[in-house]
Amino acid sequence: MVFSSFFSINKEFIKKNYLSILKQGELSEEQIQRLIKGKPLDLNIIIHASSGSDGQSPLLIPRSKEDIDDIAQRVLKRYVELYKSLPKKIALLGGISHTQTALKYKMSDSEGITFSLDEIDKLIEYNPDLISCYPSVIREIISYPELDLPNLKMIKLGGERLFKSDIEKIKSCFPQVIIIEQYGSTEMSAIALKIHNPEPVDETFQLQ
């Protein structure tokens, strides 16, 4: 949520003002109608979707490649600080946002591939540097009996509630992996980040 001195902007605000917000953007009327009907847009527009964790249908948000690039740079800032480069292999699991990003967005020196939960063998073979998924998905991944991801350096989680028990289980499986909890990037240009590992946990989210 982003606060100002006058009002707050959150998912409910966006839902209530959805059409008005779309019309204030750079989409044409034809593109807006295609989006509402769930039809594909051109390659320069990446559709992100809210997680639906509130029990309602996901909210579709059109984003530009420049917008996605800006978000990616902020999310990966800690990774770059530690490893002096971007992750070369990124595994994306779950959701419209990940599928669209893998298809339409390419980051310099990095590749992103989507996987489903019945493709963990392929995920292991891919051996990513970074995994991005929902907390419910990482619970399934770390319970896989033959899990071996020696190149994994960072796990980015968001879209659902992350419990302390999740963090402890991930740490026990991947002691040195950076664990980032992130919210807000679907609906907002600002993102809230919390780094859980390998440093001591900071209980506050940092607005990026």
C-alpha distances (whole Å) from 102 to each of 99, 182, 190 are 5, 19, 21
List Cβ neighbours of 103 (8 Å cut-off, separation of 6 or more).
Answer: none
Burial 85-109 (b: 16+ CB within 10 A, else e): ebbebbbbbbbbbbebbbebbebee
Q: Considering only CA atoms, which of 135, 144, 141 is closest in space to residue 116?
A: 141
Burial 24-57 (b: 16+ CB within 10 A, else e): eeebeeebbebbeeeeebeeebbbbbbbeeeeee
CA distance linking residue 195 with residue 162, whole number of Å = 12
User: What's the pTM value of the predicted model, to 2 decimals?
Assistant: 0.70
Task: Quote the pLDDT of residue 104.
Answer: 45
Which residue ranges of the chain lie beneath pLDDT 70?
1-27, 32, 34-64, 95-107, 184-190, 199-203, 205, 207-208
